[in-house]
Amino acid sequence: MRPGGLPSTNEHVNGHMASEPGRWSPRVLQALPLEQLPAVAAQIRALLIEQVCAAGGHLGPNLGVVELTIALHRIFHSPHDALVFDTGHQAYVHKMLTGRAAGFARLRKRGGLSGYPSRSESVHDWVENSHASTSLSYADGLAKAFAARGQDGRWVVPVVGDGALTGGLAFEALNNLGRAGHRRLVVVLNDNGRSYAPTQGALARHLQVLRQAVAGPEPGPGRNVFTDLGFAYLGPVDGHDLAAVEEALLRARTVGGPVVVHVVTVKGKGYAPAEGDATDRMHTVGVLDPATGTAAAGSAAVTWTNVFGSELARLAAQREDVVALTAAMQQPTGLQLFAERFPQRVFDVGIAEQHAVCSAAGLSMGGLHPVVAVYATFLNRAFDQLLMDVALHRLPVTLVLDRAGITGPDGASHHGMWDHTLLSVVPGLRLAAPRDGATLRELLAEALSDQDGPTVLRFPKGAVPADLPAVSRAGQVDLLTETGSDVLLVGFGAMAGACLAARDQLAERGLSVTVAAPRWALPVPPELITLAAGHRLTVTVEDSSRTGGLGTVLAQTCTDAAIGAPVHTMGLPRTFLTHGSRAELLASTGLLPDGITTAALAVLEAARRAA
């Protein structure tokens, strides 16, 4: 059943010893005496360390919320009461306590447990969008819905981090929640002073002042940002003191209006390599040795992010006008080296992509060339600013989109598959997708030299492949093979290598194949249209949505130019893709060499039969 009422259950508590991992549940937790809870917390931490180090995932955030999540499930009654986890990467403990501990053996693997809340997994999961700063808006709507349906006995409890609270959407929600007078709404502020890195901005300073106040479960006597917005304020509370957290949550239930419970936690609590992690490398981890917290052997390949970061720092040494912006992800987007060398030229704006892009417009108006480095999936949030604040003013701003295409185990909300579709409608924008490290360096330099409008570079997550040199160049199109006449394979960005392998397979069947890699795909290079006109079939291959991607735009351009040869587009389907490895998901969508070959042969055969 979907969330909406308490599910039926035949579980029972055998005495009060029911804290084994396989038997954890909200009902069991509520029956345990307080003195047994530290043992449960220790079991959960041990299981987190064991399973996340084996599979990879979000380790630090979950270690920090063990006691808090136990208390939430003891004081509130999920799913009758709605627990809404902002971002969701800290919901592993919630999953363990709602009957999914055994599933962690296949955490973030295809067909296995999601790394975020998932409505298909459990009635206890209300929200699975893992973009930050949303929980308070969901909570506002849920509270209004419960009231409208006469369900006045149901609590709504959003759990939001101090990092997520820097997002503009969170402030929009606070503005409405404080005036709505929701009687059964408790905002739990999980304050660990960090998102990926230390939380930035005036709000972070304000929370630091509050953290230094005298802790207590009673409403504080002084004013703060929350009380001024209409909330009662409880805290700060030691988030690792179960008795204190429970007392504060119980007190919150008696306030009779919207209330903020300020809980102070330590990211990575209880695991030395994570608790003392100043670089936040333990926020999200790959496979680790749990005893030492060090990466497994063979996992230190040079990544696309590494290449971008080192090249940007090199170019910035030659260009004093180059500045960089990040939305709370300086290290994950490759800006760490730039920040070390030019600390006054990098700006961390917090989880605020809209502000980052609009601020970049101002920087550009002031004579600088800003580089906005974000994950591709998070560009969605700043589309209006890109369109109306950057492109409309024809400003030279460069966006660098990491994790473009299939990202793998993080799932639907993190696949970077929407950006190309959105970008294709922006007038004056130039879009490139490098195919290897060499072209990434070249295209980044070209982007920084462009003074005519916005430029965008996109590249995937993971190790950068070996360089794929061009045999020749036609304008903005690199030819990776000699020119053929039967099939033109257009490999966009990281898909160029798969097209080369497919070319060999098609050549074995006697077909003459050209492999082209457009350097700049938007606007469509005229040389690509000329190439398409010279082949019986053009197949475009991209690891972004087929809807509005390179293939769609090229096909429309060829139609406008009255070119009759068909253009077959291969890309990601118009659906939400689940989690799994990049190779698995590319194979399932036909974007590996065998799939490309099969598609090209099928289109040619269909054309032969129709002739």
**Residue 297 pLDDT:** 64
- Is residue 584 within 8 A of residue 591, CB to CB? The reply is no
Q: What span, in angstroms and rounded, lies between the C-alpha atoms of 529 and 68? A: 59
Residue 167 identity: G
Question: Are 19 and 43 in contact, with CB atoms under 8 Å apart?
Answer: yes
CA–CA gap between residue 126 and residue 145 (Å, rounded) = 14
Q: Is 205 exposed, middle or buried (0-12, 13-18, 19+ CB in 10 A)?
A: exposed
* Binding-site entries for Mg(2+): 162, 192
pLDDT at position 270 = 82
Topology of domain 304-458 in CATH is Rossmann fold (3.40.50)
DSSP-based three-state secondary structure for 242:
helix
How is the chain split into domains, by residue range?
21-289, 304-458, 472-610
* CA angle in degrees (0–180, nearest 5) for 510-511-512: 125
Q: State the pLDDT at residue 295.
A: 80
Chain Cα centroid distance, residue 583: 19
Helices (H), 26-167: 26-31, 37-55, 60-63, 66-75, 92-95, 135-148
Looking at the domain that runs over 21-289, which CATH code has it been given? 3.40.50.970
Q: For the chain, how many helices (H) and strands (E)? A: 23, 22
Active site residue 353: yes
Is the bond preceding residue 460 a cis peptide, omega within 30 degrees?
A: no
Residue in the block written with tokens 């003392």: 276
User: Could you give phi then psi for residue 518, rounded to 5 degrees?
Assistant: -65, 130
Q: Which residues of 45-54 are buried (b: 16+ CB within 10 A; e: fewer)?
A: bebbbebbbe
What is the mean pLDDT of each successive set of 10 residues along the chain, which is 611 residues long? 32 41 80 93 93 88 95 96 94 94 90 91 91 95 95 96 93 92 92 80 90 64 87 94 96 94 92 78 82 72 96 97 95 96 96 96 98 96 97 98 93 92 96 97 98 97 95 96 95 96 97 97 94 96 92 91 90 93 93 97 90 75
381 is catalytic: yes
Task: Report the C-alpha gap between 326 and 331 in whole angstroms.
Answer: 9
User: Of these residues, 45, 194, 267, 546, which one is catalytic?
Assistant: 267
Q: Which pLDDT belongs to residue 25?
A: 86
Catalytic residue among 45, 381, 403, 430: 381
d(CA 2, CA 122): 8
Rounded to an integer, what distance in angstroms lies between the CA atom of residue 493 and that of residue 434? Answer: 5
- State residue 9's pLDDT score: 31
The pLDDT of residue 193 is: 84
Q: In three state form, how does the secondary structure of 173-190 look?
A: HHHHHHHHCCCCEEEEEE
Q: What is the structure's pLDDT at 401?
A: 98
* CA–CA gap between residue 111 and residue 103 (Å, rounded): 10
The residue among 267, 119, 257 whose CA lies nearest residue 183 is 257
The pair of three-digit structure tokens given for residue 226, joined into one six-digit string? 């929350």
Task: Please confirm whether the linkage preceding 332 is cis (ω < 30° from 0).
Answer: no
pLDDT of residue 163: 92
The pLDDT value given to residue 592: 97
The conformation of residue 386, written as its DSSP 8-state character, comes to I
User: Is 536 a known active-site residue?
Assistant: no
Q: Is 350 within 8 Å of 302 (Cβ atoms)?
A: no
Query: What per-residue confidence (pLDDT) applies to 7?
Result: 31
176: tokens are: 């409405």
Cα 380 to Cα 351: distance, rounded to the nearest angstrom: 13
Pick the catalytic residue from 128, 246, 311, 353. Answer: 353
What distance in Å separates the CA atoms of residue 488 and residue 539, rounded to the nearest whole number?
6
pTM as predicted: 0.91
Could you tell me which residues are annotated as the binding site? 89, 130-132, 162-164, 192, 271, 353
E runs forming strands in 493-536: 513-518, 520-522
Fold match between domain 21-289 and domain 304-458: yes
DSSP 397: -
**Within a 10 A sphere around the Cβ of 135, how many other Cβ atoms?**
30
Tokens of 337: 């080296």
Q: Does domain 472-610 have CATH number 1.20.1740.10?
A: no
pLDDT, position 227:
94
Q: Which residue has the tokens 């130019």?
A: 561
- Contacting residues for 83 by C-beta, under 8 A, at least 6 apart: 72, 73, 76, 94, 124, 126, 157, 159
pLDDT at 199: 84
* pLDDT score of 8: 29
pLDDT of res. 24: 80
| Sequence ranges of the binding site for thiamine diphosphate | 89, 130-132, 163-164, 192, 271, 353
